[in-house]
Amino acid sequence: MVKVSILVQGIVQGVGFRPTVYRIAKEMGLGGSVRNLGNSVEIVLEGSKEEIKQFIKNLKQNKPPISKITKLEIKWQKNKEENEFGDFVILESSAEFSGSSVIPPDVAICDKCLKEVMNKGNSRYNYPFTACTDCGPRFTVINSIPYDRERTSMDEFPLCDECMIEYKDPLDRRYHAEATCCSECGPTVFLYKDGVMEEKYPIIEAVKLINEGNILAVKGIGGTHLVTKTTDEEPVDTLRKRLGRLNQPFACMSPDIKTIKTFAEVRSYEEEVLTSRRRPIVVLNKNEDYYLTPSVSPLLHNLGVMMPYSGLHHLLFKYSDEPAYTMTSANKPGEPMMVDNKEIIGRLDDVADYYLLHDRKIVNRCDDSVIRFRAGDLAFIRRSRGYVPEPYDFSGIADDINILALGPELDVTFALLKDKKCYVSQHIGNTTKYETYKYLQKAIDYMMRITRTENIDVIACDLHPMFFTTKLAYELSEKFECDVFGVQHHHAHAGALYVDHGIDELICIAADGVGYGDDGTAWGGEILHSTRHKYKRTGCLMPHMMAGGDLTTKYPIRMVVSMLYNQLNPEELKNLMKNEYVHYFRHGEKEVDLVLKQLERGFNITETTSTGRVLDAISALLGICGERTYEGECAMKLESVAYYGQNTVDIPVKIRNYMGMDVVDTSSILISVLENKETGKSINDIACSAQSAVASGLAQLGIKAARKTGVNIIGGSGGVFYNEAISKTIRDSVLENGFQFIQHKNSCAGDGSVSLGQAAIAAMHYKLN
């Protein structure tokens, strides 16, 4: 007879782990105990060595569905007294802390709970907050650890007698399910319009209001959505006007896969993710029978779709025949999603017609995650609800060091490295907005508290001196008396690929809109030989002037003029702009003259190698998009036009030497686009061929760098790699030339994982120094 102590780390609290341990131990007749220990689960057992080994095997095979074991620490000892325990018991949680906290993410309502919600004979019939240890909110309700009810926002809802019986029964799936409740003791949902509306069935009434064409603000698990029907143009168009988002695609929610397939293409791997317990938004291609109103996703070939993930969502569709509802985040442009009832009502009074709210506090707002597949390869556009705050394993990257990485400026997340686990935050957003900047600081404080991080050794940030996150880095460095470590933007992209693939060297093709280069210019089409914490720039897209600086990002016709300035004589260029593109200039012909003078005199000019700006220029030159009203609009619309075309137009790719470095001559690509357009060739085919040319040029540079350095792995990162055609063209070219190609698989290709890469680069630097 021996005694053993097992410390289990991972996602093991709030997921039904203790009752699973209890059931296995009881079935095997083992004595001992189990308890939450700060951030881990401690199991003490008495039995023979063979029995205990079998127990561990059974636990690994039968652990709860949303749990994750990352580490088992087993301490064997001789048992001085046989039958010391007698029975197996579940002890009260201890606040004693060991190791790093792993807080479980929110997950979708499970089938058992949903069955209860839909069963007229069940006490939880039509109750939208039904949950158990296998499902429901976690991250969005936790105030502190250990994860017990009194440390969540559910502490305001004492359990009724019936729920308490379930809560205290180790054999019940609601044993210590901290979010469990029923209509007698749990949160209440209500309709609001100039006061709380006296509605016996507020969800049924909400559905009627939506189907009548009203816009509803619906408070959910981790935030609030603006909801309209999608089969009528008028409510969607009204929502756009009220929000000021005239063109940006809205995500939508549909009740089931069968319905989604009536308007979108769903491949097997997309269906698997759509129906998973994480329930992200998945970007799907519209099918030939697409019938939702065009304004849901205007002038794009795809749209973001998710399935219901809460009881409330399922009930909305239970009483509706609509195939989908818009489910766009309820926030002012660039600001955080609203979670507080007073704020929702007060700040959305000019947007929403009615409000479907509830009285449970959202501790942590958490936007929906967004995923897109490129030729079968998954990439996060946003890694948030359902995934955060699951950490990344840095055991092969970092020593015992605490690093806070603050990300870039737009699409910000931050990352906290502690005990070789890197916790990347939920989506934060645009930190140039004051409310978002405050949210960032609040979220950092929370993450440090929940992981019991008291000190920071290094703060990593972007090189851009004017970013608010850079300024915050220096403020926090004074508070923690620690170093600030700057990481070049595209090197951070490479760092995220390190983490995803367990490597420390690659040729990184970094293609995006902008990243501050180490020479002070705007990079965005880079070939980097990245080796651990160092990198060398080996190639790029041809540098171009940007007439008016950031104005070119909003009005890409300015980028067209800049790129063609040295290709056409001034008079020819002026006539082209005034005769065919003057409508793209806000101030007409006068602005054409002004832009040409800026380029001539070098006034208010910045330099860029951005792939995003090149794609924008192609989009404008082809008459596809002349003004960016949301991030990535011009390039996204170019991709959608190209989707219906063929790569049949001859657009040569020229590699030149520029200041000792290989560059893709993107001006020659633009000239070729113009020439083919003037000959009357299909705009769809030109768009497809032009995208392919840009991709081919980047691939050639990457392959050339790999051959020169002897590196076998070429990786793609940056927002351009969300473009399926470009991503596939580069991948196929790399593979055809005998190299390995990698992309993001558990992180964002865009800026959402820059903080992760910053943390990795900083950790490698301090490990070696």
Q: Which is nearest to 182 in space by CA: 144, 262, 127, 110?
A: 127
Integer angstrom CA distances of residue 717 from 377, 487, 494, 518: 13, 16, 7, 18
Establish whether 586 is a catalytic residue: no
Report the C-alpha gap between 465 and 262 in whole angstroms. Answer: 49
* Continuous segment of H or E residues that includes residue 485: strand 483-487
State the Cα–Cα distance between residues 133 and 173, nearest whole angstrom.
6
CA-based R_g, the chain, Å: 28
Give the contacts of 227 (CB within 8 A, at least 6 positions apart): 210, 215, 216, 217, 218, 316, 325, 326, 327
CA distance 44 to 395: 27
Q: Long-range contacts: 236-244, Cβ < 8 Å, 24+?
A: 236/293, 236/295, 236/296, 236/326, 237/295, 239/215, 239/326, 239/328, 239/351, 240/295, 242/215, 242/350, 242/351, 243/328, 243/333, 243/351, 244/333
From CA 411, how far away is CA 367, in angstroms rounded? 12
Catalytic residue of the set 18, 360, 382, 558:
18
Exposed, middle or buried by CB within 10 Å (0-12, 13-18, 19+), for 241? exposed
58 is catalytic: no
Could you tell me which residues come within 8 angstroms of residue 719 by beta carbon, excluding any fewer than 6 positions away?
Answer: 511, 512, 513, 612, 632, 749, 750, 751
Q: How far apart are alpha carbons 310 and 130 in whole angstroms?
A: 8
Q: How far apart are CA 387 and CA 329, in angstroms?
A: 18
DSSP state of 249: P
**How far, CA to CA in Å, does 312 sit from each of 243, 282, 315, 356, 529?**
24, 20, 5, 10, 49
Q: What is the 3 state secondary structure string of 571-582?
A: HHHHHHHHHHCH
> Where does 238-394 show beta strands of DSSP type E?
252-253, 281-285, 302-306, 325-326, 328-329, 354-358, 370-374, 377-382, 392-393
The rounded distance, in Å, linking the Cα atoms of 614 and 607 is 13
From 35, 36, 364, 374, active-site residue: 36
Question: Could you write out the DSSP letters of every residue in 169-196?
Answer: -TTSTTTT-TT---TTTS--EEEESSSB
Largest CA distance in the chain: 98
The two three-digit tokens of residue 128, written as one number: 């939208």
- Report which residue type is found at 719: G
Strand order in the sheet with 392-393: 392-393, 421-424, 415-418, 403-405, 458-462, 483-487
Catalytic residue set: 18, 36
